[in-house]
């Protein structure tokens, strides 16, 4: 068992001391792109590289609370993320060149991130395109690129089985806004008519507000929808085709 038994458990010096941190992958959509909140480091190691918001867990603090606190502190964005879920824990002995750090990674979704500012001296926070990270156009510190890739996988899976896509939008949204989430995360386009029917047929996914929205480039005005603030499992899942070709 984790706590083992015997005298060693009662001797505070008998176990190896680890640093435990949290790191958060916060997704948002801005300018029709899937983006991440990252911090540009201004200290070695990995000076000038981008890193996930995060930091040490306090000794009496819950892991999820630590994730929320660090996000606010490091980005200056005072509203915490809308949806927050644990991703996995990364603990390779050499993942930080300075010492042994085990980090509990989380992923989150935020609607309309305000322009972040560096809250602490950690560097400055900004939005970075997920594509730029996936395709290696920006360099990430430590194993953070892997964490982002894993988070993107988790988000893609979650879109199939929960209402999490609605967390990307604040008040009222169009069905095509929701479709955009799926298209950006999954990397291919969905047929608008079928998507509309599917989404509206799932009970408790979206509720019509009665309002309509005009389109900038013309086109028929769209109905606006709302959703419950809480992310719930879908009663009927939106299956993504396997072996679907990514759009170039």
Residue 81 binds what, of a second copy, DNA, none (CB under 5 to 8 Å, by partner type)? none
Give 7 or 214: the residue with its C-beta nearer to a second copy: 7
**Under rule CB under 7 A, how many of the chain's residues touch DNA?**
24
| Identified binder of DNA from the candidate list 8, 157, 191, 207, rule CB under 7 A | 191
The answer to whether 31 contacts DNA (rule: CB under 7 A) is no
Burial class of 121 by CB neighbour count within 10 A (0 to 12, 13 to 18, 19+): exposed
Question: Which residue from 224, 101, 243, 103 is spatially nearest to 170, judged by alpha carbons?
Answer: 224
The torsion angle over the Cα atoms of residues 120, 71, 226 and 191, rounded to 10 degrees, is 110
- Report cis status (omega within 30 of 0) of the bond before 151: no
Q: Which does 151 bind (CB under 5 to 8 A by kind): DNA, a second copy, none?
A: none
Nearer to a second copy, 5 or 248 (CB): 5
> Which residue stretch of 33-41, 88-96, 139-147, 233-241 sits at the interface with DNA (rule: CB under 7 A)?
233-241
Taking CB under 7 A as the binding criterion, the range among 58-66, 123-131, 141-149, 211-219 that sits at the site for DNA is 211-219
- Nearer Cβ to DNA (47/237): 237
Select the span of 3-11, 74-82, 148-156, 220-228 touching DNA (CB under 7 A): 220-228
Between 68 and 176, CB nearer to a second copy: 68
Report CA dihedral (202, 206, 209, 212) to the nearest 10 degrees.
-90
Q: Answer yes or no whether residue 239 interacts with DNA by CB under 7 A.
A: yes
**Contact at 8 Å (CB) between 25 and 151?**
yes
Out of a second copy, DNA, none, what residue 135 binds, judged by CB under 5 to 8 A for its kind, is: none
* Cα 148 to chain centroid, rounded: 8
Which residue lies nearer to DNA by CB, 128 or 178? 178
Q: Edge-to-edge strand order for the sheet containing 33-41?
A: 50-51, 33-41, 123-129
Distance CA 223, CA 221 (A): 7
Which residues of this chain interact with a second copy, rule CB under 8 A?
A: 1-6, 9-10, 12, 15-23, 39, 41-43, 45, 51-63, 74, 86, 88-89, 91-93, 96, 98-104, 120-123, 141-142, 144, 235-237, 242
How far, in Å, CA of 96 to CA of 141, rounded?
9
221 binds DNA per the rule CB under 7 A: yes
Residue 41 φ/ψ, nearest 5 degrees? -75, 140
Closest approach of a second copy to the CB of residue 218, in Å: 41
Q: What mask of x and - would describe binding to DNA in positions 145 to 184, judged by CB under 7 A?
A: -----------------------------xxx--------
Handedness of CA 124, 130, 136, 137 (dihedral sign): negative
Angstrom distance (rounded) from CA 37 to CA 240: 26
């Amino acid at each position: 068992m984790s706590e083992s038994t015997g005298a060693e458990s009662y001797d505070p010096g008998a176990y190896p001391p680890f640093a435990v941190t949290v790191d958060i992958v916060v997704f948002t959509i801005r300018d029709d792109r899937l983006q991440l909140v990252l911090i540009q480091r201004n200290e070695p190691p990995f000076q000038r590289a981008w890193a996930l918001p995060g930091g040490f867990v306090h000794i009496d603090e819950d892991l999820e609370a630590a994730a929320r606190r660090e996000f606010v502190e490091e980005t200056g964005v005072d509203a915490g993320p809308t949806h927050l879920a644990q991703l996995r824990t990364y603990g390779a002995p050499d993942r930080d060149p300075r010492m042994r750090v085990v980090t509990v990674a989380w992923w989150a979704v935020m609607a309309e991130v305000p322009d972040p500012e560096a809250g602490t001296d950690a560097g400055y926070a900004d939005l970075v395109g997920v594509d730029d990270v996936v395709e290696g156009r920006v360099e990430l510190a430590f194993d953070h690129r892997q964490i982002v890739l894993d988070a993107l996988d988790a988000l893609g899976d979650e879109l199939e089985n929960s209402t999490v896509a609605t967390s990307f939008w604040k008040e009222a949204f169009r069905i095509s806004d929701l479709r955009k989430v799926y298209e950006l995360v999954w990397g291919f386009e969905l047929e608008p008519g079928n998507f509309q029917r599917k989404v509206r047929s799932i009970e408790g996914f979206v509720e019509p507000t009665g309002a309509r929205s005009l389109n900038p480039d013309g086109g028929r005005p769209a109905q606006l929808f709302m959703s419950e603030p809480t992310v719930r499992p879908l009663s009927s899942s939106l299956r993504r085709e396997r072996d679907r070709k990514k759009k170039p």
